Structure 1
Amino acid sequence: MAALMCVEGDDDDGGLEQAVETGGRMTVEEALETVIRYAEESGDGFVRWLELEELELDDTILLSLDLSTKFPDLLALSLFGNKLENREKIVDEVTKFKNLKGPWLNNNPVIEKSDCGMEDAILRECPKLEIYNSSFTRNFGAWALGFSADVYGKDNPGSGHLGDLPLQSVTSLDLSNRGIHNLINKAFSPFEMPNLSYLNIRGNPIEENSVSDLFGLLRAFYSLQSLEVDIPGPLGDSAVEILESLPALSLLNGVDASKILEAEKHVVDSMLQPRLPERTAEEPLVDRVLNAMWLYLMTYRLADEEKLDETPVCDEPNFRVAPFLFMPQGNLASAVSFSILWPIQNVKKGDECTRDYLFGIGEDKQRSARLTAWFHSLSIILSKYFILLLELPQFPFKLWSASLLLVNSSSPGVVRRSDGSALCVYSDIPQVEEFLTQPEFVITNEPKDADILWTSMQIDEEMKKAVGITDQQYVNQFPFEACVVMKHHLADTIQKAQGSPGWMQPSYSLETHLSQLIGDYFLRERDGRNNLWILKPWNMARTIDTTFDLRYIVLVRSINPLEIFLSDVFWVRLANNPYTLQKHSLFEYETHFTVMNYGRRLNHMNTPEFVRELEKEHHVKWLDIHQRVKSMIRSVFESAASVHPEMHDPKSRAMYGVDVMLDASSQPKLLEVTYCPDRGRSCKYDTEAIVGGGGTVKASDFNSTVLKWGETIRIITRWLGNGSSIGLSKQPTMG
């Protein structure tokens, strides 16, 4: 009974045995007869504990039983899991019990009506109540504490007038999830419980007591050695500070106090509830079991013929698990995989076998955050901790914009040979070799002979030495450009320079800020805000989008002074299927991805057609959107120039693809910046420029246009900045 009243939904063993003996569910009459007979055989004949659970009781049957007349001395009444619906009738019946200390009405239809006010009505008429539906009332005392400590129950319900010091023998007390607001209570004292050594107060707000008052109360329990409490919680947000305030504790949340102090762990948790996959109504039970099973059994991926990848929970496990691949014939075709389990500590019969899913991963690699993949309670802790972090002035994701100080220097020189001959270009990009046909340029197959290197490979010092590249050759990449083309560095660059601009969605690197991401996710879930995230590898251009995104081409001529050009033509990238978030669609690439230039069917739409459709459907003006996009792109490269001035190199030029999404208000959102963007459509489709000078843009001229790189070329829009930090070359040839 105690277990049933503590946790909704538990089965009462006695009732189950009775049901088995009688071949089915007990009737109300049988249940009452059993209770009366038990009281007569084991006590004074007075029924003080009555369980009428899951007996199909409705309001009419309850009234007909006239329980208050038959059992006037009742202390505990459980009507759990019946069909009671009428608030007035239930209140009237329950309040007739003048000695009642604990009614349980859980899992009845009337409880689902949260606005019915039944709890307040019952508490007003029954001032002696100490427990209501498993939660402590504000009048809780020795009976409620004794119930939680298993002193009182079906076999020993207590009496209306409890004897002196009934809790003297209590050594362990579990008060978790009791809805306690004020713990300072006459019954909860070292005088009443002098032998208390274990206390669990998890899941209680206890907001009416200050931290200092609670520490003072707990220090008075001189036998208390083990404490379970939420961190952050009513005792603060630091395990170290709790132990310093309660020096007699040897265990905090199941962890040795000395280890916490030695490691300076501020958040510790031993009550890790498994994270089981949520079950939907249409999901077969077998599928749910299999999903949960493989979450914990683990799987292994064969990286190559000589290496297995293992996804590495107990902080101090007594067993290890490792993959083993047996190939009896010496090849993969004959391979049989095993998981080998062996003890690493002495174990005896009856011991629990534990393993560490994150072997070798400590808090320096976000161990607690990673464990949320298996344990739900850690997610709750991190969300609470994240809320506290938001209130700190030094919180790293509330950075203010840095001053964008760009030092003026001379504009980069013009690229031309002294004798006026054609410039030699080396490239490993097929479109360049095919379409760069203007007489100002010639293709060379030797990198060391080229004036201009336009390559998709990174040109580092090792490559320069290997192929004979010198510092006098022009290359299509800037030093340290990873600050914009790698997603985690891009977010860091923007945050340092701009803070949190509206066009930059909250971004987290899972390698360094997983805890903050989890906290932010649960905070958004709590507040009912949009919680749809884009997950991308830091070094790959794969984006899960809503129907479409836009690819802009940006040419960077100089970092100091900052000179950037924006192509008059942008490209629309469309998903091939209508957008939906239905579960069956989540594995459909052509529903959620827009990049189709890797062997998939390309749903091409000309830019003018897209603009007309967008303006018509959403009643917007494209030129207004374009101005916002330009401003955003400018801010991106201003940020890079400000935070990373080491990017500047007079021999560097670069083309970047900037991917943009529009939200429901047609405001641009930055997705990513890509190095050496794909230019297949640029070289394949003629199109009309929507902005700038307008007119037809020939696909065959694209690469030559880029290499000429000047304001006389129609594809390039002059993008003037405010002040002298951004300038443009007046030269018609590449500079």
Structure 2
Amino acid sequence: MSTAFDAFVTVHQYQLASIPEELWQPLFMKLGEDYLDAGNYAELHHGDPMEGYSLHVKADQELKKHSEIFLIDHAWTTSPETAKKELLENPTLMARLESLMDIEVAEEPIDSDAEDSDDEGPSEEDIKLVAAQANVSEKEAEQALRAENNEIVNAIMHLTIDPDAKEEADKLDDLMMNQILASGKAQEKEEKENKSRYERRAEREKNWKNERANMIYKKMWSYIQTYSYSILQENGQPTSQTAWYICDEVGSAICHSSDPNVVVLPFIFSRGSSGMIPYSVFFPIKDIAAGEIITCDLVPKSLERESDKLAYLFAFEDRVLLDSEIQNKRDELTEIFKANREALKNQKFTPPAGRVLSSEEALAALKRDGENTPKKESVVVCTDTSFVQQFLKLDNVKFTNNPAVADIVWTSNDFQGWDSLEPHQIVNQFPNEKCITYKHNMAQLIQKTYGSPDWYLPTYNIMTQLSEFVGDYLNAEEEGNTNLWITKPWNMARGLNLDITDNLAEIVRQHDSTIPKIAQRYLVSPCLYNGKKFDLRYIVLVRRAEPDLVACVYNMFWTRLANKKYNLEDLDDYECQFTVMNYSKYEMTQLDYKSFIHNMEKQYPIKWDTVQKDINNAMKNVLIAAASTPQPLGLAGGDNKFDAFSVYGFDVMLTDDFKPIIIETNFSPDCTRACQYDPEFVNNIFSLIDGRFGTTEQGLKAFTVL
């Protein structure tokens, strides 16, 4: 007959596979009773041997290998996106985490009338001056100064005025005060002062809480752990999610060692209809003597390179048992970075002969293609892209929902039907164009091709280049350089999931996210437009990548402008640091590109034509790398027997000395706004795509050939 324990094993078999079988029964019993008994065997130490807390076997106990298994409660389950908000809403949680992480809390702002008062009392110097001038004691002088709101001249007059005149003045003061009281202005003034005092107190308290939340957020990356789980989407497909959690005081005190004596694992206990309860468990994998410190290995098994394992530990600097495991290895990582930097500097690239055309040759090729292609009575287009459906108005266009009969297929989804294409058909994608539209792929392509060009910021794949990134970070720290980085998902647009930080632990721990990310050095000295950050969106048409590259950029571009003036004081202020507003809750400022150019030339001593030429060269360099490099790193060598083109959105920023920085290249960009600026936008693109429209010359007027 099946028992409750048998059911427990069946339900949790995948988790139990990592736990010695002899501990399954005790674990089952403890889970059933929520029995947290680690305190019977272990105790917290502070400052021994580490600055914060560590966990030790009690002096009168010992632990044998696989002899016990202990439950660890989770003090906090959160997400990086909501963590600060949750802290601010839960003062008890904030206080517990400060204690757990050994954070020294700043004193709470004093709430008193004396603190809030603008009257700080007379200075000793003023008191002595008034006492000397009025020939009175310092006590009388202080009283007079307080009565006259620290006005020295009024205090002296108050003390030296003739008694009869003073009596008349006092009567006049009383009469005026009675009139003020009768008018209600005194009460109004008092209410205004009380409101002002309350607002100052509230602002101080808000700043104090924000500082505490920011400190916890900064330090939590050294304590937070993760586990992954799947949920079913509406289409029935599973998607992986990551839960971020911090263990209780016992679990958080278990520090790292490369020679650990316990294993710590997350364990999600299913109570059937009662739901799931997340715990962690730990058990000894060695005999641990009385008083000995308890340690685990915090490095994930997914890290294979020894240098990456070392780099990962920099997220746990104050939780590593032996400082030497980190401190003596700083030089090793900076040397890895310096060697990598030198190799990138020495990277040389020469495009294969005939692969890259000059702009004049590419222009001639486009004209030749148009002239040699007879105009067709109707060109059949199949598209699922709304702005194409709405704005394609060429007189011989005909739409269809059947891609098999279309002359041109334009889709916003990944195209897969390469083998089914006929010779007369043109499709709007190249195989493997993710080599430039995925951020980590473009970074790798640029590094392999050009090394470290000045038009691209240092960028690292957190999943595969952890030691290179940490080496760069430590080297910048050593040289006293600004160490700000922005983390971005490999394949998300619209400004989603971006974070700016100088916190090494936070960046390293992005390795544990289910959303793979890059870390890119943050441009701290951008060119500004009226004090605000901006980036420029260019639409680039690649008409072909093989056998030679033919590409052109639309002359109209658009400027995305931050809503607030740029500063580095508040990295969390989206409207100050970011420019993509049309997909956010914030208002968007749109700038006509001609007005933008006019105002830039007024604001700065530049000629935009020169800046634009540098931007065009940088964008072309990305395309040259892709067209010259074989798949899977680039686009070349696909043995393609079909006709293809692609339209990319290039995002570009300028440095404060007007040099272009390529930020990213976007797949199938939303061009609705471009169509609103220029109703002929789509017509011009299709005119260059296919000479069968008979409008190639007209379309070329809207482009500059790269």
Q: What is the TM-score when the length of structure 1 is the normalising length? A: 0.51
What does 1:470-549 align with in structure 2 at a 5 Å threshold?
A: 473-541=425-493, 542=495, 547-549=533-535
Cα distance, 1:514–1:361 mapped onto 2, change above 3 Å: same
Cα distance, 1:533–1:391 mapped onto 2, change above 3 Å: closer
* Identity, % of aligned positions: 30
Partner of 2:99: none
TM-fit CA distance, 1:577: 2.8
Partner of 1:440: 396
TM-fit CA distance, 1:337: 2.7
What does 1:145-160 align with in structure 2 at a 5 Å threshold?
A: none
Maintained 8 Å contact 1:435/1:703: no
- The aligned length equals 426
Alignment partner of 1:370 is 2:312 = yes
TM-fit CA distance, 1:374: 0.9
Indicate the SS of the match to 1:646: coil
Q: What is the CA–CA distance in structure 2 between the aligned matches of 1:565 and 1:297, rounded to whole Å?
A: 48
Q: What is the CA–CA distance in structure 2 between the aligned matches of 1:415 and 1:311, rounded to whole Å?
A: 61
Q: What is the CA–CA distance in structure 2 between the aligned matches of 1:582 and 1:475, rounded to whole Å?
A: 47
Partner of 2:92: none
Q: What is the CA–CA distance in structure 2 between the aligned matches of 1:581 and 1:301, rounded to whole Å?
A: 34
2:291 aligned partner, one-letter code: G
TM-fit CA distance, 1:494: 2.1
Q: What is the CA–CA distance in structure 2 between the aligned matches of 1:369 and 1:658, rounded to whole Å?
A: 33
Query: Which of the numbers 238, 251, 257 marks the counterpart of 1:314?
Result: 257
Q: What is the CA–CA distance in structure 1 between the aligned matches of 2:302 and 2:208, rounded to whole Å?
A: 37
Partner of 2:129: none
2:469 aligned partner, one-letter code: L
Cα distance, 1:672–1:654 mapped onto 2, change above 3 Å: same
Bigger Cα displacement from structure 2, 497-506 vs 287-296? 287-296
Specify which structure has the higher proportion of helix: 2
Map Cα deviations across residues 522-564 of structure 1 (whole Å, 9 max, x no partner). 2122223343333222222336776211111111112222111
What does 1:28-43 align with in structure 2 at a 5 Å threshold?
A: none
TM-fit CA distance, 1:599: 4.9
How large is the Cα RMSD of the aligned pairs?
3.8
Map Cα deviations across residues 282-333 of structure 1 (whole Å, 9 max, x no partner). 97679756864673253556652797646793334333333344464637xx
Alignment partner of 1:675 is 2:667 = yes
TM-fit CA distance, 1:565: 0.8
Q: What is the CA–CA distance in structure 2 between the aligned matches of 1:419 and 1:403, rounded to whole Å?
A: 39
TM-fit CA distance, 1:639: 1.9
Cα distance, 1:553–1:393 mapped onto 2, change above 3 Å: closer
Maintained 8 Å contact 2:224/2:244: no
Alignment partner of 1:400 is 2:352 = no
Alignment partner of 1:452 is 2:408 = yes
Alignment partner of 1:665 is 2:612 = no
Q: What is the CA–CA distance in structure 1 between the aligned matches of 2:582 and 2:216, rounded to whole Å?
A: 39
Q: What is the CA–CA distance in structure 1 between the aligned matches of 2:226 and 2:330, rounded to whole Å?
A: 29
Maintained 8 Å contact 2:337/2:472: no
Q: What is the CA–CA distance in structure 1 between the aligned matches of 2:583 and 2:334, rounded to whole Å?
A: 42
Maintained 8 Å contact 2:552/2:704: yes
TM-fit CA distance, 1:486: 1.9
Alignment partner of 1:592 is 2:577 = yes
Q: What is the CA–CA distance in structure 1 between the aligned matches of 2:330 and 2:676, rounded to whole Å?
A: 50
Maintained 8 Å contact 1:552/1:659: yes
Maintained 8 Å contact 1:558/1:653: yes
Partner of 2:377: 421
What does 1:60-459 align with in structure 2 at a 5 Å threshold?
A: 288=215, 292=219, 295-296=222-223, 298=225, 300=227, 303-304=230-231, 309=242, 313-326=256-269, 328=271, 330=273, 335-347=276-288, 349-364=290-305, 366-375=308-317, 383-389=330-336, 392=339, 396-407=343-354, 420-459=376-415
Maintained 8 Å contact 2:688/2:700: no
2:549 aligned partner, one-letter code: L
Q: What is the CA–CA distance in structure 1 between the aligned matches of 2:549 and 2:312, rounded to whole Å?
A: 41
Q: What is the CA–CA distance in structure 2 between the aligned matches of 1:382 and 1:668, rounded to whole Å?
A: 36
Maintained 8 Å contact 1:401/1:495: no
Partner of 1:194: none
Cα distance, 1:361–1:504 mapped onto 2, change above 3 Å: same
Partner of 2:607: 621
Q: What is the CA–CA distance in structure 1 between the aligned matches of 2:341 and 2:471, rounded to whole Å?
A: 17
Q: What is the CA–CA distance in structure 2 between the aligned matches of 1:286 and 1:301, rounded to whole Å?
A: 26
1:320 aligned partner, one-letter code: V
Q: What is the CA–CA distance in structure 1 between the aligned matches of 2:561 and 2:326, rounded to whole Å?
A: 36
Map Cα deviations across residues 352-393 of structure 1 (whole Å, 9 max, x no partner). 322222342343382221221112666655542244346659
Map Cα deviations across residues 216-247 of structure 1 (whole Å, 9 max, x no partner). xxxxxxxxxxxxxxxxxxxxxxxxxxxxxxxx
Indicate the SS of the match to 1:397: helix
Cα distance, 1:685–1:496 mapped onto 2, change above 3 Å: same
TM-fit CA distance, 1:664: 0.7
Partner of 1:558: 544
Alignment partner of 1:569 is 2:556 = yes
Q: What is the CA–CA distance in structure 2 between the aligned matches of 1:294 and 1:525, rounded to whole Å?
A: 19
Cα distance, 1:330–1:603 mapped onto 2, change above 3 Å: farther
Map Cα deviations across residues 89-130 of structure 1 (whole Å, 9 max, x no partner). xxxxxxxxxxxxxxxxxxxxxxxxxxxxxxxxxxxxxxxxxx
Specify which structure has the higher proportion of strand: 2
Structure 1: unaligned runs, 5 residues or longer: 1-6, 11-279, 687-696, 721-735
Bigger Cα displacement from structure 2, 530-539 vs 642-651? 642-651
Partner of 1:636: 622
Cα distance, 1:534–1:574 mapped onto 2, change above 3 Å: same
Indicate the SS of the match to 1:713: helix
Cα distance, 1:640–1:437 mapped onto 2, change above 3 Å: same
TM-fit CA distance, 1:478: 1.4
2:559 aligned partner, one-letter code: V
Maintained 8 Å contact 1:508/1:514: yes
Instruction: Say which structure, 1 or 2, has more relative contact order (CA 8 Å, 6+ apart).
Output: 2
Bigger Cα displacement from structure 2, 706-715 vs 398-407? 706-715
Indicate the SS of the match to 2:535: strand
Cα distance, 1:660–1:711 mapped onto 2, change above 3 Å: farther
Indicate the SS of the match to 2:291: coil
Indicate the SS of the match to 1:330: helix
Maintained 8 Å contact 1:550/1:659: yes
Indicate the SS of the match to 2:613: helix
Q: What is the CA–CA distance in structure 2 between the aligned matches of 1:501 and 1:449, rounded to whole Å?
A: 45
Cα distance, 1:325–1:415 mapped onto 2, change above 3 Å: farther
Map Cα deviations across residues 586-635 of structure 1 (whole Å, 9 max, x no partner). 33333322222325432211112222222222222211111111121222
Maintained 8 Å contact 1:407/1:561: yes
TM-fit CA distance, 1:582: 2.3
Cα distance, 1:435–1:496 mapped onto 2, change above 3 Å: same
Cα distance, 1:406–1:527 mapped onto 2, change above 3 Å: same
Maintained 8 Å contact 1:426/1:450: yes
Maintained 8 Å contact 1:683/1:699: yes
Structure 2: unaligned runs, 5 residues or longer: 1-48, 53-206, 233-237, 246-255, 357-361, 501-522, 527-532, 631-635
TM-fit CA distance, 1:472: 5.5
Q: What is the CA–CA distance in structure 2 between the aligned matches of 1:291 and 1:718, rounded to whole Å?
A: 47
Maintained 8 Å contact 1:427/1:453: yes
